[in-house]
Amino acid sequence: MPHIKVYIHFVWSTKNRIPFLNSPELRKKVWQHIAENARSKGIFVDFVNGYADHCHCLVSLGVDQSIQKLVNLIKGESSHWVNKNNLTTEKFEWQNDYFAVSVSASNLERVRNYIKNQEEHHRKKSFQEEYEEFVKNYNFKKFED
């Protein structure tokens, strides 16, 4: 039996960065659903949180899971669930693109705290500013879709 521990920090935004998730209550419902649904599919979501226009998700990859498969399952099912339950006034969608970066064991607690404190973090900084930091800090090529 393989023993692996690979953590990935995912970040993705709502389609066109529309602030669909505009209340703490709605965000709490969506994040809770993402965690519960992922668990039912054998996906270990360590921590999930975000803000009105994006989501952060810390996931431990399973032995037979790929980044693309995980993010597609989480994003696709959660947007379907939001729409099925009429939680937004317009059709809810996630943006196609996403960030995925590995997290070392020594940084897990720091990343959890960063994800946990999204409400406070975004009182001072927009998602666009956060996006720019990710691009710079992880040397990603900048793109728009």
**pLDDT over 80 (residue 145):** no
At residue 144 the predicted structure's pLDDT band, cuts being 50, 70 and 90, is low
Q: Which of the four CATH numbers 3.40.50.10540, 3.30.70.1290, 3.40.50.300, 3.40.190.80 does domain 6-137 have?
A: 3.30.70.1290
Across all residues in the chain, what is the average pLDDT?
A: 92
Q: Cα–Cα distance between 33 and 27 in angstroms, integer?
A: 10
* Per-residue pLDDT tens digits for 36-45: 999 999 999 9
Residue of 1 and 89 predicted with greater confidence: 89
Q: Given a cut of 90, is residue 2 above it in pLDDT? A: no
Q: Other CB atoms closer than 10 Å to residue 87's CB: what's the count?
A: 16
Would you state the structure tokens that stand for residue 102, as one six-digit string?
A: 């590995």
DSSP state, 48?
E
Domain ranges, ordered by start, for the chain: 6-137
Mean per-residue pLDDT, 4-15: 95
Q: Express the helix, strand and coil content of the chain in percent, nearest 5 each.
A: 45, 20, 30
Whether 9 contacts 132, CB under 8 Å = no
pTM comes to: 0.89
